[in-house]
Structure 1
Amino acid sequence: MNKTERQLAITLELQRNNKMLRAEDLAAQFETSIRTIYRDMQALSEVGVPIFGAPGQGYALMDGYFLPPVTFTVEEAVTLLLGTDFISQRLDNKYSDVVEQVQRKIEAVLPEGVREESTRIRETMRVIHAGEPQIDNKVKSYLSQVRQAILERRKIRITYLKKIADSDGTRKSMREVDPYGLTLVQGNWTLIGRCDTRKDIRHFRLSRMTDLVVLESHYVMPQEFHLSNYRPQDKRNQQVMVRANVKIADKIAETGHFYIEATEEQNDSLLVTYRVHDPEELVPYILGWGGDVEVIEPQSLCERIQEEANRILNRYRTI
């Protein structure tokens, strides 16, 4: 960062904080000396930036000074700031390393009311991972409704299709949920909230909802819940082992990486150990890899793959 860039960044930092900042803190933030900060303050004052200082307290901008003359609506500000969150996780270090600096600059040019409202909205959403699947109009509609319900602390009622059917073959269930937050996981928006039926926090993919109603009743957000710090309990306690052709190692790593616990090369094969909540979760992947994989354990999964392979074979025999 050259001198001009640093002095502009200092001005924006003073504007963003709207309080006294010590030279020592500014020097640490911009990785320079305190003496350089003193010179920067003198240079800024000479070009007309209304900075005042108080011994032992630091520097601040005079009330009413606003730089630059740019304004954003709440929606525009949220769009920009969520975009920086996306970049910090999905782009290379050249861009992710400057995300905090970009966020500071955006926040610095926001009027106080817009900044506070955009911060409140951003706290209800967190970008974890952006995958390839496109979000259809139904999910976009649910996303808007759930986001508003979170802001207003209103309960929702959903009709939900579970990934794995119950023993009686039922997948559909109706739930009332206190919506706590939204995360984008592998291209799928997921609601995190307390389910009244389960009496605990559960995750619900918006794409699996077939109906959603925002209720009039309200809920209280637990003080201990913070979306940015939330980590779901790991309930993957079943082990699955498969032997795969080493030639498809990249496919295995790309499609089932979130289940993989360990991999080990053995001659021309790859021994892969998975940790899952239910072996059924791996069935689509194993079938997709065809004859290049073999289930070693558990035996129940071997039989499940055999059963599904026979169903496929029988279907094509009738054609």
Structure 2
Amino acid sequence: MNKTDRQLAIMLELQRTKVLRAEDMASLFETSVRTIYRDIQALSEMGVPIFGAPGHGYSLMEGYFLPPISFSAEETVALLMGTDFIEQRLDGKYGIVAQAVRRKIEAILPEQVRVEAARVRETMRLLNTGEPVTGAGEQDYLGQVRNAILERRKIRIAYHKKMPDLDQNRKSLREVAPYGLVLMQGNWILIAHCDLRQDIRHFRLSRMSELIVLDERFEMPHGFNLSHYRPPDDRNESILVRAQPDIVDKIAETSHFYLESIEERTDEVLIHFRVRTPEEMLYLILSWGGDVEVLEPESLRLRIREEAEKIFKRY
């Protein structure tokens, strides 16, 4: 942090905390107490009304440095919860940035709005706020991939994929040109052009075990826009399930990506799904227990029966 940024940050911190000791500011900005003294003197010479009280610390004159814009309590909650989300989901660099943004937002708020926003925030929270939702290893890959995208550099990854009909993962090495990152259903997905497949493919960061940023550069395809990108829908196989009415809501909540239609009858419900392969829904269907029955395809009925027999033998 350069001198100008630090001096601005000092003013923001003084407005946010009202009274702050030089030692505390030195610790916060990772500099010496003497440097803080020089910054305070420089700010005072520029006309910033900073007052010092021996044994207490420094403070700004009440009403100084009013924000150029104002936020309502609800707008403030939206901004602060946004920083919470960024801190949870992105890599460490943006976690630090989110903390700095949160401090700046709180610093420019009038006392009344800050108190009201804090009261509103107490009524809601993001899950796992105290710890990162995105795993540490995944966060590391996220940072490396993000930089590779910005620098237009290819990456080499070791990717693990579950094989249909096999209780094992297949590991493959891929060299890809990373186009963008998407957070979908709680998972970070890399959209990239795969040299092996010669096409755009999707890779879950959580399934990567190795990642190397290469020196080789790539050009982004003309007209590619991540915001407008829509992958082709290759869910070409159908599954038909009979379900008890009282479990339909649970099925809809947990399988909305695959859900095609729901047909209600007198004492049962028929649910149609579209999938890439029937095995995609094997363990999801098993989680619904005896309240559902697979009607089609027959191959999935047999797989469900095999898994049920395995469970029965264990118990």
TM-score normalised by structure 1 residue count? 0.58
In 2, Cα distance between equivalents of 1:273 and 1:187 = 24
Percent of aligned positions that are identical: 60
What is residue 298 of structure 2 aligned with on the other side?
299
- Secondary structure in 1 matching 2:154: strand
> How many matched pairs?
200
Shift of the alpha carbon at 1:81? 11
In 1, Cα distance between equivalents of 2:271 and 2:241 = 5
- Secondary structure in 1 matching 2:222: coil
Which amino acid is the alignment partner of residue 305 of structure 1?
I
CA displacement 1:88-133 (0-9 Å, x = unmatched): xxxxxxxxxxxxxxxxxx9xxxxxxxxxxxxxxxxxxxxxxx9989
What is residue 178 of structure 1 aligned with on the other side?
177
Unaligned runs of 5+ in 1: 1-66, 71-79, 88-105, 107-129
- Secondary structure in 2 matching 1:171: strand
- Cα 1:170/1:83, change in 2 over 3 Å: closer
Contact 2:180–2:192 under 8 Å retained in 1: yes
- Secondary structure in 1 matching 2:281: helix
- Secondary structure in 2 matching 1:233: coil
Give yes or no for the alignment of 1:272 onto 2:240.
no
What is residue 256 of structure 1 aligned with on the other side?
255
What is residue 163 of structure 2 aligned with on the other side?
164
In 1, Cα distance between equivalents of 2:272 and 2:207 = 29
Shift of the alpha carbon at 1:313? 1.4
Contact 1:156–1:177 under 8 Å retained in 2: yes
Shift of the alpha carbon at 1:241? 0.2
Shift of the alpha carbon at 1:224? 2.0
Which amino acid is the alignment partner of residue 290 of structure 1?
G
Contact 2:165–2:279 under 8 Å retained in 1: no
CA displacement 1:274-294 (0-9 Å, x = unmatched): 000010111111100010000
Which amino acid is the alignment partner of residue 282 of structure 1?
M
Query: Structure 1 stretches (4+) deviating beyond 4 angstroms?
Result: 67-70, 130-133, 165-170
Shift of the alpha carbon at 1:171? 1.5
More displaced stretch, 167-176 vs 179-188: 167-176
- C-alpha RMSD over aligned residues: 3.0
In 1, Cα distance between equivalents of 2:151 and 2:295 = 50
Contact 2:278–2:300 under 8 Å retained in 1: yes
CA displacement 1:186-245 (0-9 Å, x = unmatched): 110100000111110000010111111111111111012100000000000000000011
Give yes or no for the alignment of 1:245 onto 2:244.
yes
- Cα 1:251/1:208, change in 2 over 3 Å: same
More displaced stretch, 156-165 vs 237-246: 156-165
Contact 1:131–1:188 under 8 Å retained in 2: no
In 2, Cα distance between equivalents of 1:312 and 1:300 = 19
- Cα 1:181/1:226, change in 2 over 3 Å: same
- Secondary structure in 2 matching 1:207: helix
In 1, Cα distance between equivalents of 2:171 and 2:282 = 21
Which amino acid is the alignment partner of residue 307 of structure 2?
E
What is residue 141 of structure 2 aligned with on the other side?
142
Contact 2:282–2:304 under 8 Å retained in 1: yes
Shift of the alpha carbon at 1:152? 0.3
More displaced stretch, 181-190 vs 166-175: 166-175
In 2, Cα distance between equivalents of 1:289 and 1:184 = 26
Shift of the alpha carbon at 1:179? 0.3
What is residue 195 of structure 1 aligned with on the other side?
194
In 2, Cα distance between equivalents of 1:235 and 1:244 = 26
Query: Which residues in structure 2 correspond to 1:1-319 (within 5 Å)?
Result: 83=82, 134-165=133-164, 171-316=170-315
In 1, Cα distance between equivalents of 2:165 and 2:283 = 18
- Secondary structure in 1 matching 2:182: strand
Contact 2:159–2:174 under 8 Å retained in 1: yes
Shift of the alpha carbon at 1:135? 1.1
Which amino acid is the alignment partner of residue 204 of structure 1?
F
Which amino acid is the alignment partner of residue 233 of structure 1?
P
What is residue 55 of structure 2 aligned with on the other side?
none
